[in-house]
Structure 1
């Protein structure tokens, strides 16, 4: 081997070690070092904006500039301090949404407007003028009852329904828009200033000829001169951080100067707000008056701290506000670093001015005030007016799309570790699941499977024959996920690097060269995924003839896509890096969104558009739901991390990202056996179900903790697989409607204040309530069962409980408290096999839980589980309902051509009465008597082997004695 090859090999071997050392140093040896991440006071624009005082707005609306053209209102705003004008645009969108845009009227250069997140240009509806006077204007938002009031001095905007203020904008006067300007010490500024000065002198001379007193008058205006001097003095005071700032050892140049934007929103009558993930915090967002605002800035945070507003891996700038009367939402479409302040106030402060004389207000009414602050871009906000939670979900889905519909196997269990050592290790782990009778669908490979962290490659020694490995999994109807990160090793012998460099696809640094930073391979370049041609090329790399060794059962995982830059500021990219005409600061939070988009596109293209992709991402933004799943990042094997996984996933579901989960067992550290078992029991009832562990942790495959714990984990995983028909049905509905899969109780019980702050239990769809055990050594939990006139059935014991109560539940290590809502029908599959694909044609069991009115409804959805053929109506969709002692199946997809071999092997009716006989009538008119058992002590009726096909019409009649 040549000296050069030896040296290269040593560098490849040492780079990960050096990087690990660097990361551990940055992160405080596997614990977050908050000193590596900015506070608001250390973020110049946040500190600057937060220093503004409420009630001193310099902005007023110039009513004489108003234009109303059908569906669009435009109006100029002026800042009386600096005379800079802004342009306000207001739209009424279909579906009860109002859009407000504010930009500079004449910016020095275009400001960044977020592309690609909206699925289309939202359709608009007409606006009409109701009244106007010197104080403002009143517009109709589609009806007389819903109006928007624009007040002129100071500018504010109120959205009303009847006499109720739903939301106010700039009611606290915190609108701020830092206009683009030239730096005073630049040549361009001096030339421009000189030209302007000469022109002013010419005008003064001309003016003095026309009016001899003109020059004298201008010179004698001390108020004007004082105002100008004061403005210059104020600008000098805040000069620090406006054109550049330093954090730790990193300098952030700002060639375009200060460009921050801010706007406040007041929510009368609201005490509970939710959303703006990702934060490791409670479901209900907290007030931030006494600390930092919530931060939205995608960052690689090792072992993040809990109950903290610090930024994490993803950013979705969507907030929901809820009270017993109404749910509304705010979607702040901006991809720059953003801070969100939340405070409590009183409704009386939103009610003033002639235009609002007829509004009733009470100082005792609660109110939440929210302020959004972003570093750059424009104000582009969508106000979703509900009125119900489901309306807000539909409104947001109409803007950014719905959750992608995954292959059914992706809803099963995933086994992952950093890293499975080699092909033999993969084979051994795969065999271990069979030996211990635990089902799974995907086994995962982390970064060590590659050839020296070169993505789209395999280690030539440890994974020498990847197709043989993949074929072995395929023979068992199992699949694999391999990591493909967006940092590309700088290596002239690496095809991917050479292609990206030759096509000039790398992000540039401020000086025009390719941006380079340190990540797992050592020195790495970062492809510019904001470019459509780059994304197209990246997608083409997943083709089977490009990604050598890949097969149709290999899927993808995008990690480190915040992007993570180990030697960058805050472990991410420098903000003055360049994407074409734009700085990275403008679009930072979009990078991971684009990486997942391109990867999903690649998996679809490689199959000719036939197969659904599965892509997991760590970084995300609004709209990421269209491309796959997310997880909560580098958590730890601690009880508090288990608990926080629930509100973290609930928060994501509220803003459209339903396919969420947390690393089962915790990524860092080693869980106790009790914690591991409890985590499996919790993860089995979250949408994305994956175990994962750090490289330095002891192995933790499910069978390594003794036969008793293996049995407990097996049972939790098997519960997941029996419920796959219901889970898959929920994903179908999320894809069609935008409704969350894992949802807080208040979504289904919006008028029950007892549900508003609950985040230790949740619903799957409407009909399953889960209260995981997340306390060490717990001997009981207290679950709130909602619904005054409802009943809930324990899915394990079939015991019936009334709603609207706090129920104490004794638990053992085997317990997973789950309840089925009375009035629901849930399909299950009782024959658990080694993977979901092995269960495709297996029979169903229906669990019919009767409500006090002795009725129940449900659905059954079946398709091929992996292609896009469902878009061609190739699926079975049945409505199941029980009423008048008859259970029926009715076709909801009459045009479907799809069929199944699956049949019903059992029907279990909870809360039933004992029948005299049971008759089955099929679609062809044939009747037969069914055998049944009745448990009088629990009122459970079991119909055995009814035998009808799952895709056909039928009725089952209970004839009571």
Structure 2
């Protein structure tokens, strides 16, 4: 939201009061509070009839410093609030030296000098200034309509670039953009977003999290061009500066604060196939799809039933349509016998025609209007109400309707919707409707995820969720929402996923081929390679099926090739998933995350790293032409063996069975021997594909997880002259070591292979 009219003037009807000078500092051991006048005080009379802005400075965790600015502190705060980890009494250390007050927390220091104009300056461990809130950077404003806003600004350095703010389909670098953090069902072709996260990451090696679950308006160098401005309609604004120095360090600290992603089960990384949205289907259709995939040698891991598994006008009452699926339990058993997992579509709305509507209304489980009526509308489903997840009883009730489906054999739920949450309502726990609009999805996904963990066990729960906010990364997986079936939509989907990954989300997927419309076969085949080299992979559409043979024989071959390739890569991919779970560093990594010191990587949004060592550049053209940038080092194409020395830009041309897929110098890719499934025995004769560096002291340690909780195997690689010695710990199984473009050897316990 903009408050100024150019650099000099204020917008008509707006009044702004800026923190101007420090009038007092109250320091404690781990925190300090400062009081700022909004005008220069030259005499005692200047202290009358004038407000103060209170700024509390504290550190909840090492490398994180919070600033809470307040105008009137007596305002009621009904919630909700993000659940943040950290020490309640803080971990920082305050030091005072004359007019200077400093709060240090690990590699981050906040400095206030009360002798000059109002300035809060943040410095890294080397004393380098990361950013600052200086003149006109801390304020409150009122509008002509009487709304009260708190405003914060942090300076942008020359060349500094900003990323994140959720899954945004607009340009990857957010400089120059106006971003309203407000959930919306806007598709992937607009400035709206399903996953809004009030966190951004800077190319200077820090992040900023605005701790407000409601609408946060960001002006990223778009009002004051050298500042990131964030404002909320409230009396208090709280933000955290998160230290690096690397982007990975920032994400690790941020996700430690807001929550690390759960580790999805190995089977979820395989190929998902759905019925599509409004297509006609029954058990015969479903079985024809499943058998058709098997007949064509395309391994399938999960089958998903979209909306019309339920009766029309009755979503969601969690009851199979008996006219279409007369024997759901038997059908699910038949699908499970084919080795499949099952996913069902749900949303948090209860249609009026469903018997569950009257039940939920009678029990008080639906959201109400201020006059006591149940909130309803006809958009999406006729007369639908909204489950009130702020009520523990409503959450338990909702879970009780899902449990019988789990008992039938369902393994996962696609938690669709959750964005169009009204603000003219009353919540069970008294939450503020504006703050609940974005936060609702967090309660919705948590309710379903916790049931899956309880019923299936930790490590077996997985969602396919569309909406999220800060902290939602704890309940994976999230997919990119409704996109068109075009190359442009494929590219915008990737931009959204990369932005989400820099917002703390470790796992992400998208609709292969696009959702709306029917893709041209060229689009479908190119999207297959992209989709199967993403964290999670799903074939889904709106009004047409997405089985590969609908798009020709070559599409079948492409689907088979890349599905089996992903299965072979699973020991490597699952290692990247474990890293995401433990550290918050995502599986799909924008180039800037791995190469923050390479300026060429900072704007790249059409390629990424899958894990630490595998560079993927999807092809967005029918003719197969694609530009790819390879940073410094030697890169080896995984499919062709071609070696390229970077840094270099390349223009390549690929058939549908290929794309730029490069392995980083020094990498070791553990490959599964079985390419028929994602959750096979990865220690049954695995291959270690080695891309050694030229360093004479080259060493590497690779961990391959065991099957279903079995102990992992650790392979230690060490260069000895012209030989590579590999020793295995934790397994007696045979394994193969293959040097890319060179020799290979097979053995157990210890294997030696020539490097030249």
TM (norm. structure 2) is: 0.90
Change (3 A) 1:372 1:879: farther
Change (3 A) 1:83 1:532: farther
| 1:845 is the counterpart of 2:687 | yes
Change (3 A) 1:621 1:98: same
* Residue 447 (structure 1) aligned to one of 307, 319, 333: 307
| 1:99 is the counterpart of 2:66 | yes
* Residue 172 (structure 2) aligned to one of 283, 288, 291: 283
Q: What's the counterpart of residue 333 of structure 1?
A: 211
The question of whether the paired residues in 2 share the 8 Å contact of 1:402 and 1:737 is answered with yes
- Residue by residue over 1:289-330, the C-alpha shift from the partner in whole angstroms, topping out at 9 and shown as x without a partner, is xxxx112111112x4425xxx22211011101114xxx1100
The question of whether the paired residues in 2 share the 8 Å contact of 1:54 and 1:172 is answered with no
The question of whether the paired residues in 1 share the 8 Å contact of 2:480 and 2:496 is answered with yes
Shift of 1:577: 4.6
* Residue 876 (structure 1) aligned to one of 712, 716, 728: 712
Q: What's the counterpart of residue 251 of structure 2?
A: 393
Shift of 1:166: 1.6
Equivalences for 1:353-502 in 2 at 5 Å? 368-376=226-234, 378-416=236-274, 417-418=276-277, 419=279, 421-451=281-311, 452-491=314-353, 494=355, 496-502=356-362
Distance 1:271 1:280 in 2: 20
- Residue by residue over 1:777-831, the C-alpha shift from the partner in whole angstroms, topping out at 9 and shown as x without a partner, is 23x32321112xx211111121221121123323223222101112111111243
| 1:58 is the counterpart of 2:14 | no
What secondary structure, in the 3-state scheme, does the structure 2 residue paired with 1:734 have?
A: helix
The question of whether the paired residues in 2 share the 8 Å contact of 1:170 and 1:263 is answered with no
Q: How many residues align?
A: 736
| 1:305 is the counterpart of 2:165 | no
What secondary structure, in the 3-state scheme, does the structure 2 residue paired with 1:615 have?
A: coil
The question of whether the paired residues in 1 share the 8 Å contact of 2:390 and 2:429 is answered with no
Bigger Cα Rg: 1
The question of whether the paired residues in 1 share the 8 Å contact of 2:344 and 2:410 is answered with no
* Residue 510 (structure 2) aligned to one of 662, 677, 681: 662
Q: What's the counterpart of residue 200 of structure 2?
A: 319
Distance 2:715 2:141 in 1: 53
Change (3 A) 1:376 1:477: farther
The question of whether the paired residues in 2 share the 8 Å contact of 1:506 and 1:525 is answered with yes
| 1:942 is the counterpart of 2:733 | no
The question of whether the paired residues in 2 share the 8 Å contact of 1:847 and 1:907 is answered with yes
Change (3 A) 1:63 1:878: farther
Shift of 1:76: 3.3
| 1:118 is the counterpart of 2:77 | no
Shift of 1:410: 0.8
Shift of 1:332: 0.7
What secondary structure, in the 3-state scheme, does the structure 1 residue paired with 2:207 have?
A: strand
Change (3 A) 1:156 1:114: farther
Distance 1:633 1:908 in 2: 40
The question of whether the paired residues in 2 share the 8 Å contact of 1:767 and 1:824 is answered with yes
Q: What's the counterpart of residue 584 of structure 1?
A: 433
Shift of 1:154: 5.4
Distance 1:122 1:674 in 2: 55
* Residue 821 (structure 1) aligned to one of 629, 653, 664: 664
* Residue 767 (structure 1) aligned to one of 613, 633, 647: 613
What secondary structure, in the 3-state scheme, does the structure 1 residue paired with 2:292 have?
A: helix
What secondary structure, in the 3-state scheme, does the structure 2 residue paired with 1:159 have?
A: strand
Shift of 1:72: 2.1
Q: What's the counterpart of residue 264 of structure 1?
A: 153
What secondary structure, in the 3-state scheme, does the structure 2 residue paired with 1:276 have?
A: strand
The question of whether the paired residues in 2 share the 8 Å contact of 1:165 and 1:268 is answered with no
Q: What's the counterpart of residue 955 of structure 1?
A: 750
* Residue 489 (structure 2) aligned to one of 641, 647, 653: 641
| 1:139 is the counterpart of 2:102 | yes
- Residue by residue over 1:437-489, the C-alpha shift from the partner in whole angstroms, topping out at 9 and shown as x without a partner, is 10111111111101332332111121222221221122122111101210112
Distance 1:94 1:583 in 2: 28
Shift of 1:498: 4.2
Shift of 1:53: 12
Q: What's the counterpart of residue 294 of structure 1?
A: 179
* Residue 30 (structure 2) aligned to one of 61, 71, 82: 71
Change (3 A) 1:508 1:143: closer
Distance 1:752 1:345 in 2: 29
Change (3 A) 1:636 1:904: farther
Distance 1:853 1:131 in 2: 49
Distance 1:314 1:958 in 2: 48
The question of whether the paired residues in 1 share the 8 Å contact of 2:30 and 2:103 is answered with no
Change (3 A) 1:538 1:74: farther
Shift of 1:601: 0.7
Equivalences for 1:759-798 in 2 at 5 Å? 759-778=605-624, 780-787=625-632, 790-798=633-641
What secondary structure, in the 3-state scheme, does the structure 2 residue paired with 1:175 have?
A: strand
Q: What's the counterpart of residue 44 of structure 2?
A: none
- Residue by residue over 1:835-888, the C-alpha shift from the partner in whole angstroms, topping out at 9 and shown as x without a partner, is 3345666432210111122635252331445xxxx6xxx641524323212332
Change (3 A) 1:152 1:850: same
Change (3 A) 1:146 1:617: same
Distance 1:734 1:90 in 2: 30
* Residue 601 (structure 1) aligned to one of 450, 453, 460: 450
What secondary structure, in the 3-state scheme, does the structure 2 residue paired with 1:636 have?
A: coil
Change (3 A) 1:516 1:482: same
The question of whether the paired residues in 1 share the 8 Å contact of 2:688 and 2:736 is answered with yes
What secondary structure, in the 3-state scheme, does the structure 2 residue paired with 1:612 have?
A: coil
| 1:83 is the counterpart of 2:50 | yes
Change (3 A) 1:125 1:826: same
Q: What's the counterpart of residue 726 of structure 2?
A: 888
Q: What's the counterpart of residue 643 of structure 2?
A: 800
Distance 2:315 2:576 in 1: 37
Change (3 A) 1:377 1:826: farther
The question of whether the paired residues in 2 share the 8 Å contact of 1:149 and 1:159 is answered with no
Shift of 1:661: 1.6
The question of whether the paired residues in 1 share the 8 Å contact of 2:79 and 2:431 is answered with no
Q: What's the counterpart of residue 604 of structure 2?
A: 758
Distance 2:293 2:107 in 1: 64
Q: What's the counterpart of residue 253 of structure 1?
A: none
Distance 1:82 1:410 in 2: 62
Change (3 A) 1:875 1:691: same
Q: What's the counterpart of residue 530 of structure 1?
A: 390
